[in-house]
Amino acid sequence: MKVTVVGAGAVGASCAEYIAIKDFASEVVLLDIKEGFAEGKAMDLMQTASLNGFDTKITGVTNDYSKTANSDICVITSGIPRKPGMTREELIGINAGIVKSVSSSLIQHSPNTIIIVVSNPMDTMTYLVHKTTSLPKNRIIGMGGALDSARFKYRLAEALGAPISDVDGMVIGGHSDKGMVPLTAHATRNSVKVSEFLSEDRLNQVKEDTKVGGATLTKLLGTSAWYAPGAAVSGLVQAIACDQKKMFPCSVLLEGEYGLNDLCIGVPVILGRNGIEKIVEIDLSEAEKAHMKESAEGVSKTNGLLEL
């Protein structure tokens, strides 16, 4: 099992670290355009192998895509990160060119790979990969919902005063501050609906805190977060590599599901060795359907800024 991570910045390096620590991949290739940067990160990470007990080989390369050949899974994290006050959508002009070039180079050396897109605005970058490559739709996945759901569960556990292992919940919709649809009505604490424990006002606060989760961290850190994004990607990679058939909300190309067409947006999917094994359609309330429709309109508007 060979995994390539493009972009050795904070998110990419964090992603490579979590994949290595989980010890399911034989090799992780970390690629960056900055001379020696990925090599340095890879060496630093490899020096933790004996301390963290993993045998995954981490290789760093500077812009040499031949070293990524025959990768089973490729993760694209490259692009400029958010700065305080920036929306994910404002990154589109620069990041579209980067993602298009990177995906083309990856597929040239690994035609049967599965691509996971992390670069923002993620739903639109995932759609771009669909429109500019010949990969089948089950092999192009956008990572946003797994991260947003982790942030949702963090806020739910905080509100409940419960351990996170007790809490389950999911966020669907666009990976943007306005586009996220946290499914509070479906969220549970050990199979009991969280509405049994929390007032409607407190649940609404959890929902709003979840939606600005990324912006909150950008304001505190001065740049995008990296630990949780890296962990979320590693979860998707492991589910695919180990054929776990796990359900995650991911940005995928919809063709009629949820009444939506010709866009990528976060919905629950089953992940396995073929990438997206199945898109799961769940029953939504009228309010959730309205939020999802509004979210889709926002994603479509951003897609319209692409120069395809």
Binding residues: 7-12, 32, 82, 88, 95, 118-120, 151
- Whether 87 and 212 have beta carbons less than 8 Å apart is answered as no
- Whether 131 and 140 have beta carbons less than 8 Å apart is answered as no
Question: What is the Cα–Cα distance from 45 to 156, expressed in whole angstroms?
Answer: 33
Active-site residue flag, 186: no
What is the secondary structure of 33-77 as a DSSP string? SSTTHHHHHHHHHHTTHHHHT---EEEEEES-GGGGTT-SEEEE-
Question: What is the Cα–Cα distance from 74 to 69, expressed in whole angstroms?
Answer: 10
Active-site residue among 109, 130, 175, 291? 175
Question: What is the Cα–Cα distance from 293 to 20, expressed in whole angstroms?
Answer: 38
Question: What is the Cα–Cα distance from 49 to 53, expressed in whole angstroms?
Answer: 6
User: In which element (H, E) is residue 250 found?
Assistant: strand 246-255
Beta-bridge mates of residue 2: 27
Cα 31–Cα 36–Cα 40 angle in degrees, nearest 5: 85
Question: What is the Cα–Cα distance from 3 to 237, expressed in whole angstroms?
Answer: 8
- Whether 277 and 270 have beta carbons less than 8 Å apart is answered as yes
Binding-site members for substrate are 82, 88, 120, 151
- Whether 127 and 217 have beta carbons less than 8 Å apart is answered as no
Binding-site members for NAD(+) are 7-12, 32, 95, 118-120
Catalytic residues: 175
